[in-house]
A and B are shown apart, each in its own frame.
Chain A
Amino acid sequence: MFKVIYNGEKEKTAMKDAFAASIEKLFKLDPQVVYLDADLMNSMSTTKLRKAYPERAIDCGVQEANMVGVAAGMSAAGKKPYVHTFGPFASRRCFDQMFISVAYAHNNVRIIGSDPGVTAAYNGGTHMPFEDVAMYRAVPNAAIIDIVDSVQLQDVLIRTKDRPGVTYIRTPRKNSVAVYGEGSEFELGKANLLRDGKDITIIACGIMVAEALKAAQILEAEGISAQVVDIFTIKPLDEETVLACAKKTGAIVTAENANIIGGLGAAVSEFLSKKHPTYVGFVGVNDLFGSVGAEDYLRKFYGLTPEKIVEKVHEVLTLKNQ
């Protein structure tokens, strides 16, 4: 069960602090849990864990490929590794190691890629993963989870402890807009209907969920009834919910902080084209590289805004009603 508390305000807890608290909770919960990082503990509020749990919070230095292989080996010896680095390094930099040593070899590792998409902000284009979702979607049996806020992050980290195979979790490090109330629980692979509506469904993930809720408010003022779904598990896709939304509202807009090629929009439309052809509009990054700047600037630059969602809703509703 979950509770929606969205009012546009940010959470008091930074995501990185929620992450550190969750890892410590996991350490206490299960002696097999280990956490590996590639010289980014200081960026993830976990330096204190390395001091308190020197054998379990393992700094691997700036060696993402080796770190993922080490995690695979630790999994083969019965450990339950959580691995963190920035999103581009958690995807592009270690893709073959994740693919072969973890996924293909049936080892069980959770890989947390922080600062997804535009949240990499001032670190700029080299650090800005838009393509990670497409890459992980092509890994058999991988799960991809795009985190909305700290409440969801904490629950998902605990919940994925025993998940087999590769689990890729993309999460911002700073404070997110609060969407879920304390104590909310999440079922992996099951999307959450956050707001009911009848004219259109906005299916969003990650930081775009709050933007979708804002867009729905704007649309309501225009007399358009939009329902909003948080599909935090991009893979495996909650096909049942997507199909129900398509049948109910007859039009869909997807919103994601990633390249629309191979991303959430692609997953939704690939599925619907087989089962229930439906007009789908895509809000996301249109096949561009990342760039540097303040996050607000980047959100506007790449079109990751409530206004862009509203514009796309109008386009899709025009198609639906013609």
Chain B
Amino acid sequence: MTKLTVFAAQIRREEMKEFKELGFGHIGGSLSITDTIAALYGDIMHYDPQTPLWEKRDRLVCSKGHAGPAIYATLALKGFFPMEWLMTLNKPGTRLPSHCDKNLTPGIDMTTGSLGQGASTAAGLALALKYDKSDSRVYLILGDGECNEGQVWEMALFAAHKKLGNLIAFVDYNHKQLDGTTDEIMNLGDIGAKFASFGWFVQTIDGSDPDLVVAAVRTAQHMQKDRPAMIVLNTIKGAGVPACEAIEFNHHIVCGPQMADEAIAELDKVIGGTEGV
């Protein structure tokens, strides 16, 4: 166990508490991206929980906005807002809506949820920061199903043409979209090769290991120069909660108390007495 794998387990534990309280949610895709979120907030990104709008922060645009619960758990653990907020997910008047909203949640850098749109807003942030000669970087998380959207490919062309060397994107390639596997519904083929052909610096890694994610980001930062970078994450939808992984259509599912409690107990064991990041 490393500090980051423990941190990922801590995030998953809080996610499962959120879903247990609500009784359902976008569980599969929140869990599959958790190790990358742990890497970003546990090591890579510069940010200040006391000053969420700190000008020199790095930005994260989670374009697959339905993974909000994973980010909320992380932001709470990092002290952006009280842990109790996690029990308000999707409840009336909440600051934590199902999809990310920068005007409601401290630490969320962009409002997302209509798939494809975070791709362009991330490119806009990167372009503006580049224009300002800022050292801040922009991290973008795309879903694999989201890459069906034409807007993603408009951005892919744009980011390479505008030489956005301060943009690092991920595709959470859990190989499942809402209606089935990506192979069945809309085959992405060799998605890494596609981005490479657009002029991106591309790596493909095991997205279930946060330390590998950190290493890949460091490589990207070193190698990308004036190119946008893509890290294709091979992941499992529902990762870290075997009962969720086992469900065929696990994009948005019911989370009964038994499923949640079993997952939380298992994650407790992983975390043990160790401290995460």
Residue ranges of A at the interface with B (Cβ–Cβ < 8 Å): 34, 55-56, 58, 60-61, 63, 65-79, 96-97, 100-101, 104-106
- Which one of B35-43, B113-121, B222-230 is at the interface? B113-121
B58 at interface, CB cutoff 8 A: no
Query: Does A101 lie within 8 Å of B111, measured CB to CB?
Result: yes
Q: Report how many residues on chain B are interfacial, defined by Cβ distance under 8 Å.
A: 32
User: With a CB–CB cut-off of 8 A, which chain B residues contact A101?
Assistant: 111, 114, 117, 120-121
How many angstroms from the CA of A72 to the CA of B109 in the assembled complex?
A: 12
Query: Does A106 lie within 8 Å of B124, measured CB to CB?
Result: no
User: With a CB–CB cut-off of 8 A, which chain A residues contact B102?
Assistant: 76, 105-106
User: With a CB–CB cut-off of 8 A, which chain A residues contact B127?
Assistant: 58, 70, 73-74
User: With a CB–CB cut-off of 8 A, which chain B residues contact A79?
Assistant: 128, 131
User: With a CB–CB cut-off of 8 A, which chain A residues contact B271?
Assistant: none
Query: Does A77 lie within 8 Å of B111, measured CB to CB?
Result: no
How many angstroms from the CA of A100 to the CA of B123 in the assembled complex?
A: 16
How many angstroms from the CA of A97 to the CA of B111 in the assembled complex?
A: 11
Query: Does B151 lie within 8 Å of A72, measured CB to CB?
Result: no
Secondary structure type dominating chain A contacts: helix
Query: Does B157 lie within 8 Å of A63, measured CB to CB?
Result: yes
What would 12 more interface pairs be, CB under 8 Å, given A68-B120, A69-B124, A96-B114? A60-B158, A65-B120, A66-B123, A66-B155, A73-B61, A73-B110, A74-B124, A74-B127, A76-B124, A78-B132, A79-B128, A105-B101
- Select from chain B the residue with minimum beta-carbon distance to A65: B151
How many angstroms from the CA of A101 to the CA of B150 in the assembled complex?
A: 16
B154 at interface, CB cutoff 8 A: yes
User: With a CB–CB cut-off of 8 A, which chain A residues contact B110?
Assistant: 73, 76, 105
A31 to chain B, nearest CB (A): 10
B108 to chain A, nearest CB (A): 10
How many angstroms from the CA of A73 to the CA of B126 in the assembled complex?
A: 8
B28 to chain A, nearest CB (A): 23
Secondary structure type dominating chain B contacts: helix
Query: Does A72 lie within 8 Å of B132, measured CB to CB?
Result: no
B241 at interface, CB cutoff 8 A: no
Chain A CB within 10 Å — which of B101, B103, B120, B158 has the most? B120
How many angstroms from the CA of A47 to the CA of B78 in the assembled complex?
A: 47
User: With a CB–CB cut-off of 8 A, which chain B residues contact A77?
Assistant: 124-125, 128-129, 132
A66-B158, A70-B120 known; A76 vs B109 contact (CB < 8 Å): yes
Query: Does B114 lie within 8 Å of A100, measured CB to CB?
Result: yes
7 interchain pairs, CB-CB under 8 A: A61-B157, A66-B151, A73-B122, A73-B128, A97-B120, A100-B114, A100-B117
How many angstroms from the CA of A73 to the CA of B151 in the assembled complex?
A: 14
B164 to chain A, nearest CB (A): 10
B218 at interface, CB cutoff 8 A: no
Chain B CB within 10 Å — which of A56, A68, A77, A105 has the most? A77
How many angstroms from the CA of A75 to the CA of B110 in the assembled complex?
A: 11
Query: Does B128 lie within 8 Å of A66, measured CB to CB?
Result: no
Query: Does A100 lie within 8 Å of B111, measured CB to CB?
Result: yes
B161 at interface, CB cutoff 8 A: yes
Query: Does B121 lie within 8 Å of A70, measured CB to CB?
Result: yes
How many angstroms from the CA of A70 to the CA of B131 in the assembled complex?
A: 13
- Select from chain A the residue with minimum beta-carbon distance to B151: A65
B111 to chain A, nearest CB (A): 4
A61-B161, A66-B155, A66-B158 known; A72 vs B124 contact (CB < 8 Å): yes
Query: Does B125 lie within 8 Å of A73, measured CB to CB?
Result: yes
